[in-house]
Every structure is written in structure tokens, then in C-alpha cells.
């Protein structure tokens, strides 16, 4: 059973990286696909892996990699057949302490401050043949499948942000008095909260439908996932912003919980495929 040490920037620890270790939560993986010049365009990655007598040698740079500084292994997407476009990508399981693999300092982000996000550099990293994950030149399809689940999860995260924002602002407008009466006594305030609840209900319905269709292998699962990701992320961002507005000046203070939601919800329209990517998926049926 292979055992790997954590990267130097993390507390030293040795854990099992078998599948059981990941399932038990005793091992951590990072997925390194995105690059400085290739995000949602997975086919555009430039990291390359060439085969030698010792296995595979990987060279390239990855960016915005979640868990990079905490990972025990890094799953790396690389071009193994450069002339084959998206059909020439393979994923490799790379130990975090592999010679030639290094990590940048944590990136300072607008939100998700508790998420370790870094650049990953692969400089002649050598891995054995059995480091290939799921078959040679199958990486693009693996990544696309993983995107589907990630997008449903991100849509669900939007539901969580939105629901909490509505709870927070509902409590606030009931307790905040203006001219001797609670804000909730004003029709315009009640209507704004009601509109937020409608948006949340719609986002929830789309997200649940997408999760169900993805689970069942429904032929329209891809469209449902794209629709849920697009709508829920945007709805959550709007709901959180509306909630912050109703908090007034207090909503702009770090001590107010709504501020964290405002910081963290914005990434949902970018991560896992931008709004524009989801709209491209949804609009492909119009292409002549």
C-alpha cells in the first residue's frame, strides 16, 4: 500500500492514498486541470506528458488548484497525444512529494478564504505507467463527467448561500425599527424578501431536477445541469446582494454575516464553468 508525505508547506503527515483512504477522509486529492491560459477550455491545456523507459515525464503549469497545498496526491491532466486535440488528454495520479512537483504560495482571493488555492508547477515530474488514471487519452471525457457533478454541487452551494441570506435578512427586517416600526412592516421590504424566496424556489427546483437526471443518466441531464448551474449561481448572487442592501450600512461591515456570503457567492458564476460556458451548452441546439 503506497504511502506519501504531505508537501513541505503543510504539516508533515503520512497517510494511506489507497481509495479507502480518500473515502475515509484520511487522504486529500487535488485536481489539476486549469492552467493560466486554459480554464473551461479543457482541450486547450498545454501541460504535456511524454513516455520514456521509466514511465511518463510531465511538464507544465496549473493555476487556481483547490487543495494544492493540502493534497497527498494531485490528479494532473496532460496532453499525451498533442495532435489529437481533446482526444489526446490523459489524467495521472501524482504523489504530492514527487520530485519536480512544486506549489506556489496560497492565492489571495476575494472569497473562499478557507479554501487553499495555488499554482502547481510540474518540472520533469516522472511517474510510472500505472499512474495513468482510467486509460490513456481518456482524460477529457473523465474531466467532462466530473464537471457535471461539480456543477450540480456548485448550484447546491448557491442554494445554501441564498437560503441563509434570506434567513438572515428576514430576522433583521423584523427586528430593525425605522420611525418606530419594524422594517418588515413596509410593503416594499416584504415584497423584496418574497421575490428573493421565489428566486430560491426556482433555483432549488432546477437544481433538484438536474441532480435527479444526472443520477438516472437522463438524456437531458447535460442541459439540466447547465441550466441549474447558470440559474442557481446567478439567483444566489442576486439574493445575497439584495439581502446586503436591506441590511443597509450594517451590511457593509465585516462583522455582519451577510458580508461573507457576498464574498463567497461570486465564485459560483465562475468555478466549474462560467455563466458563458453554461449558456453555450444550452444554446448549441440552435447551431445550424
Identify the pLDDT of residue 14.
Answer: 41
Task: State which residues of the chain have pLDDT below 70.
Answer: 1-19
Burial class (CB within 10 angstroms; exposed 0-12, middle 13-18, buried 19+) of 76? buried
Contact 6, 96 (CB under 8 A): yes
pLDDT digits (tens, 9 = 90+) for 99-119: 999 999 999 999 999 999 999
Q: Which domains does the chain have, with CATH numbers?
A: 3-135 (2.40.110.10), 141-286 (1.20.140.10)
Identify the pLDDT of residue 3.
Answer: 32
Identify the pLDDT of residue 18.
Answer: 55
What cell was used for 176? 430593525
Identify the pLDDT of residue 13.
Answer: 37
Identify the pLDDT of residue 175.
Answer: 94
Identify the pLDDT of residue 9.
Answer: 40
Identify the pLDDT of residue 2.
Answer: 34
Residue 281 backbone phi and psi in degrees, to 5: -60, -45
Identify the pLDDT of residue 19.
Answer: 60
Amino acid at each position: 500500500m503506497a504511502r506519501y508525505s504531505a508537501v513541505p508547506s503543510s504539516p508533515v503527515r503520512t497517510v494511506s492514498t489507497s481509495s479507502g483512504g480518500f473515502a475515509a477522509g484520511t487522504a486529500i486529492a487535488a485536481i489539476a486541470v486549469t492552467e493560466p491560459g486554459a480554464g473551461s477550455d479543457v482541450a486547450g491545456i498545454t501541460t504535456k506528458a511524454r513516455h520514456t523507459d521509466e514511465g511518463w515525464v510531465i511538464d507544465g503549469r496549473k493555476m487556481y488548484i483547490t487543495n494544492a497545498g493540502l493534497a497527498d496526491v494531485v490528479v494532473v491532466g496532460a496532453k499525451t497525444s498533442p495532435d489529437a486535440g481533446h482526444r489526446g488528454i490523459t489524467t495521472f495520479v501524482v504523489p504530492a512529494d514527487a520530485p519536480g512537483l512544486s506549489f506556489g504560495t496560497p492565492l489571495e482571493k476575494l472569497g473562499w478564504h478557507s479554501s487553499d488555492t495555488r499554482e502547481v508547477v510540474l518540472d520533469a515530474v516522472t511517474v510510472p505507467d500505472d499512474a495513468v488514471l482510467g486509460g490513456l487519452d481518456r482524460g477529457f471525457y473523465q474531466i467532462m463527467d466530473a464537471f457535471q457533478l461539480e456543477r450540480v454541487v456548485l448550484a447546491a452551494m448557491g442554494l445554501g448561500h441564498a437560503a441563509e441570506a434570506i434567513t438572515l435578512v428576514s430576522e433583521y427586517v423584523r427586528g430593525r425599527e425605522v420611525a418606530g416600526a419594524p422594517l418588515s412592516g413596509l410593503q416594499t421590504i416584504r415584497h423584496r424578501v418574497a421575490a428573493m424566496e421565489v428566486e430560491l424556489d426556482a433555483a432549488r427546483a432546477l437544481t433538484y431536477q438536474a441532480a435527479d437526471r444526472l443520477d438516472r443518466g437522463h438524456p437531458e441531464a447535460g442541459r439540466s445541469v447547465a441550466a441549474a448551474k447558470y440559474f442557481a449561481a446567478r439567483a444566489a448572487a442576486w439574493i445575497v446582494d439584495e439581502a446586503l442592501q436591506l441590511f443597509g450600512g450594517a451590511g457593509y461591515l465585516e462583522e455582519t454575516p451577510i458580508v461573507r456570503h457576498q464574498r463567497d457567492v461570486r465564485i459560483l458564476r465562475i468555478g466549474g464553468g462560467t455563466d458563458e460556458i453554461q449558456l453555450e451548452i444550452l444554446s448549441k441546439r440552435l447551431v445550424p
